Amino acid sequence: MADDSSNRLAWLAVGLALSIVMLSAFKNYFPVVGNQVTNKIQQNVSDNTSNEVTHTAYAYSADGTDRFSTVSPNLNLLNGTKQLNQNLTSHYFAMPTSKTGGYLNSNYVVCDNPSTNNNVMDFFRAYVKQNSNPQFQYVKPNTTYTFSEYVRGHGNVTMYGWSSQGNWIEKNGTATTTLTDDWKLFTYTFTTGSTIVDGAQIFARVPAGSRTDICLPKLEEGSTATPWMPSSSEANDSDYPPYIGTYTDNSQTASTDSTKYFWTKRG
């Protein structure tokens, strides 16, 4: 009978043989698995990279907080909106005498209705079509526009779109806001009808007991109010936002949080 040492040697031989067989069977397996894992990681990285979106925003301060916008500002379709000087813009506006020191140190008009008999008063009119000299037309038929302005005061104010020959607003004909002592942006989006007639206008209606200060009115095509700009005939390079912010992620929607953007000075 073989002694214990002989048995141990036999079992060692068997184990060695099995190890050789297993190594031979799996020697090509591990590289394949490794390659598969590497390829999967590379694919995921590639997919994430291909889905990345760079978002852009605009602002008037280095930290992005002043008049932050994810849309580049459109030029104003109205003329003379910063000065609001009755003598210079009488063809374009009908309004009270303007005052200095409004929002962004621009001029503003005071629309005060101290009436106690519930009468409404129409103060501020911005004309969008005029056939007499000077002739102009700022709006097109069947088109969406946004009118914006900075307002403050007490009570409330309603903006209307109207024509001297009838209501020319096809959709969303009015907008109302409640006023406070602080300047705030008030926007009014509407769609024009099929005909724009002479004298078509946007105006502010102030109810009895309310007072509205109006500053920096702007009219632009589309449903989004972008930061105030002068008209194409008035704009200078300094009127455009001096800071541009960017960041990248996988979302199709740009963030409205200015701290997410890396801000650099334009030009």
Which pLDDT score, from 0 to 100, does residue 97 have?
80
**36 has pLDDT over 50:** yes
Cβ contact 221:74 at 8 Å? yes
Mean pLDDT of the chain: 83
| Dihedral sign of CA atoms 98, 101, 106, 109 in order | negative
Nearest to 247 by CA among 52, 51, 48: 52
Each residue's pLDDT tens digit, 188-209: 998 888 888 888 889 898 999 9
β-pair partners for 204: 159
What is the rounded CA–CA span in Å between residue 222 and residue 95?
Answer: 26
